[in-house]
Chains A and B, each alone.
Chain A
Amino acid sequence: DSGVTQTPKHLITATGQRVTLRCSPRSGDLSVYWYQQSLDQGLQFLIQYYNGEERAKGNILERFSAQQFPDLHSELNLSSLELGDSALYFCASSVGDQGEQYFGPGTRLTVT
């Protein structure tokens, strides 16, 4: 158990819908990272927050957004969902903004 929690574990929704994925980092970790893992894409970095502020952006679509709250949990919002958004979404956390990252169990999103 990495100490990073993610909810929900599974999510099934229809195209065009909007969903919110939630992540709680390990106790004491200030950084939260979001990744997308598709079958043919490997682990793709989406976005990082450090202590409530956006720190870095990766290959994140404009339809996707995230935020980190004062209690350091983070939410990833996915809107106008498309079939191709079906994937595993992982959250990871680290102590600072440059430490080793510890991953949560993931949310499996299926868009039908």
Chain B
Amino acid sequence: GQQLNQSPQSMFIQEGEDVSMNCTSSSIFNTWLWYKQDPGEGPVLLIALYKAGELTSNGRLTAQFGITRKDSFLNISASIPSDVGIYFCAGPYFSGSARQLTFGSGTQLTVLP
């Protein structure tokens, strides 16, 4: 499968601060997905991006599909305690005729009061 490099691996921020994380690949992707996983829970789809250059928001979250199609960024504005969790990027690749998702290693976000 394809490799996605996600950074940073972890972040400690103060409540109210903005956060930015990114995901890069050596291969071109035609879709980027961002998921959030709370401790002990399944990943929840936050934002899906389908076009190079696309900028999509979901509340305080904004994600961008890089114009090279090899990267994507997720920004969280005015962080709050419930933003704590692991954020994963994911992108599809084809294994034979089947479309699969490959996931980044995740960014662990901690929000300090």
Q: What residues of chain A have their CB less than 8 Å away from a CB belonging to chain B? A: 2, 4, 33, 42-43, 45, 48, 55-56, 58, 90, 92, 97-98, 100-106, 108
Whether, in the assembled complex, B25 has its beta carbon less than 8 Å from a beta carbon of chain A, the answer is no
> A98 contacts which of B1, B33, B44, B99 (Cβ < 8 Å)?
B99
Contact B99 A103 (CB under 8 A): no
Per-position 1/0 for B76-113, Cβ under 8 A of A? 00000000000010001001101111111110000000
Chain B residue at smallest Cβ distance from A105? B42
Whether A97 contacts B105 by the Cβ 8 Å rule is no
B41 to A, closest residue via Cβ: A105
Closest Cβ–Cβ distance, residue A45 to chain B (whole Å): 6
Cβ-defined contact, B105 with A42, below 8 A: yes
User: Which chain B residues have a beta carbon within 8 Å of chain A's beta carbons?
Assistant: 1, 33, 35, 40-45, 48, 88, 92, 95-96, 98-106
A2–B106 Cα distance when bound, in Å, is: 20
- When distances are taken between beta carbons in the complex, the residues of chain B under 8 Å from A92 are 42
Which residues of chain A have C-beta atoms less than 8 A from B104's C-beta? 42
Known A-B contacts A2-B42, A43-B88; A100 and B33 likewise in contact (beta carbons under 8 Å): yes
* Contact residues in B for A56 (Cβ distance below 8 Å): 95-96, 98, 100
Chain B residues in 8 Å Cβ range of A97: 98-99
Given contacts A104-B42, A105-B41, contact A58 B103 (CB under 8 A): no
Q: A45-B1, A90-B43, A97-B99 are in contact. List 5 more A-B contacts (CB 8 A).
A: A45-B102, A56-B100, A58-B95, A101-B45, A106-B40
Known A45-B101, A97-B98, A100-B48; judge A58-B1 contact (CB<8 A). Answer: yes
Q: Are A106 and B98 in contact (CB under 8 A)?
A: no
When the two chains form their complex, are residues B103 and A55 in contact, meaning their CB atoms are under 8 A apart?
A: no
How far does the alpha carbon of A98 sit from the alpha carbon of B94 in the complex, in Å? 10
